[in-house]
Amino acid sequence: MHLCKEIKEKLFMKRPTLFLIIFLLCCLTLQAQQTYDLSTSPSDTYKPSIQVFLPSADKANGCAVILCPGGGMRALSWESDVEQMAAFLNGRGIAAIGLRYHLNTGSFPQGMKMSPMVDVTHLERFPQADANPMHYPAGDSILQLAANDAKAAIRLVRQHAQDWHLDTHKIGYLGFSAGGGVAIAATIQATDPVERPDFLCTNFGPSLIPVQVPNPAPPLLIMTRAEHPNVAAGLVNLFLEWKKAGGNAELHLYGDGSGPYTLMPQTGRTTTESWSQQLLLWLEAKGFAKRP
């Protein structure tokens, strides 16, 4: 609203037609970014929510991606993992739903240290693909709350599917870093069909709990960097767990670049920068999205 007010003050008297066009664009943007509360208890001090970013009607293809941002369960990388990603997806006709899930605001238990870093050649150290380096009761309970938030988000998105011009069979997750752990936990714990994603994508985010692959298992897309400790080993094991259960899974283990991955310019200097295009190709190939 501040932007629209400033535009009004500067442009209205001099260029009313330009003012009207830009003002309408501002209003359309505001309408496309609705926020919905996911709180289940009035006493909940942390207010989980979703923010909805819808593509233009002429581009919309019915697909919706619930974005679970990274941040180590202590912050949310909202600008890069939600706002920038939402603009990227909206431009391809895909609705984006940013999820603000429960975060761990407490301190680590006194004297507790992280487990040693595990590289991708030691998969045996992460049985059932659990790559969480610091299990403790309070941390695990927050992860459970965050997974519940993700399930509530997908339920709410399906409830509004008609209003938002979505296909109820083309709604899934994309998790970044810790947000990948949240999306995976929500997927494997979803017992109600309305809470089950149609697809699961994780970008640099391994499971943070032991994996029991759901039946039916949604198609899984994994993207990460081979050299990242814990993450790479955990995600290779996630791929193997999915395949052992008969699920459809695809793994892109990039050998160069750094991560976690944000949207990158397409320079051709590193294969990691292609991850966002790979995501689009995968969604298209699986029938969840089509080119606008």
pTM reported for the whole predicted model: 0.88
Record: fold of 32-103+116-285? Rossmann fold (3.40.50)
43's tokens: 């006493």
Question: Residue 2 pLDDT > 90, yes or no?
Answer: no
- pLDDT tens-digit profile of 194-242? 999 999 999 999 999 999 999 999 999 999 999 999 999 999 999 999 9
- pLDDT tens-digit profile of 176-206? 999 999 999 999 999 999 999 999 999 999 9
Residue percentage of the chain with pLDDT more than 70: 88
- Cα–Cα distance measured from residue 65 to residue 223, given in angstroms and rounded to the nearest whole number: 16
Distance of CA 262 to the CA centre of its chain: 12
For the chain, give every domain's residue range. 32-103+116-285
Buried b / exposed e over 101-115, threshold 16 CB at 10 Å, is bbbbeeeeeeeeeee
Question: Residue 25 pLDDT > 80, yes or no?
Answer: no
- pLDDT tens-digit profile of 77-108? 999 999 999 999 999 999 999 999 999 988 87
The answer to whether 36 touches 52, Cβ cutoff 8 Å, is yes
- Cα–Cα distance measured from residue 79 to residue 59, given in angstroms and rounded to the nearest whole number: 23
- Cα–Cα distance measured from residue 80 to residue 78, given in angstroms and rounded to the nearest whole number: 6
Strand pairing category for 220-225 and 249-254: parallel
